[in-house]
Amino acid sequence: MSDVLLGTSLMRSSAVQTPRLTAVILDLFGTLVEAPSAVERSTAAHQFAEVLGVSSAAADSALSDSWQARRDGQLRTTAEVAAHLVARSSAPASRADELERLLAQLAHERLQADATLLQALKKLRHSGVMLAVLSDASPDIAEAWSRSDLASYFDAAVFSCRVGAVKPAPQLFAAVLGTLGIAPHQALYCGDGGGDELAGAERAGMRAVRVERRGGPRGLAFGETAWSGRAIPEVEALPSLLSTWRDR
């Protein structure tokens, strides 16, 4: 892998030693799995509308208005998310159980991973690094995580809805480092850049690398900011990146 792909900050003398990495911390949406597109968001809103017995516009509005509450800890369970969406849509309370089941189904589907990604995670594990996921995620995703194909590859999973803050809040990065039991300089953070996560990771003392958004630019991102640091085309390139660093 060339230094051009990895960014100018890696173009340094071979005499300079890169501190040994103990862990790689990865974003979830847009990094490990595709970020939902506007079309997929619209489809989900239509499914919600059918369950709730309201218009698609009302369901979409409830989803949009609840983004923060679903991710920052205000809502702690999938059942609470369902009840919140029912109330915001002015739908009958009796629809909450069916909506909860739909949320769980969609969360499971959202966490399906590519075989090439799973192979890359396996290589990373065999290289001796720990793996963690750090995600702005709602309770339905957090509850579905342990049943996903991804979960077995990770030593830790930290979700914003459990910590009570969204990226780039320092406590999120502190939470994942604390769970892994490592210092910031021992970790590499990798994400597509949503939520100002890359700069947040660097402020927390970690190295950071941007990955091109999984699923392409059509994937939705929140709070994305410009990034001029290291970048790789996909998570599948991480084993090569780590190997390059070890050889320096």
What pLDDT is recorded for position 220?
Answer: 54
Please check the confidence at residue 101 and state whether its pLDDT lies above 60: yes
pLDDT score of 33:
95
Selection from 4-13, 31-40, 180-189 with the highest mean pLDDT: 180-189
- For residue 182, give Cα distances in angstroms to 22, 56, 187: 8, 46, 8
The pLDDT tens digits of the residues spanning 179-220 come to: 999 999 999 999 999 889 999 999 999 999 999 888 766 555
| Average confidence (pLDDT) over 158-173 | 96
pTM, 2 dp:
0.89
Please state, in angstroms and rounded to a whole number, the distance separating the CA atoms of residues 188 and 14.
20
Which has the higher per-residue pLDDT, 211 or 3? 211
- What per-residue confidence (pLDDT) applies to 214? 84
CA distances from 44 to 7, 33, 38, 133, 208 (A): 37, 17, 10, 24, 32
pLDDT of residue 10: 37
Query: Residue 195's pLDDT is what?
Result: 84
Question: Of 13-22, 38-47, 54-63, which gets the smallest average pLDDT?
Answer: 13-22
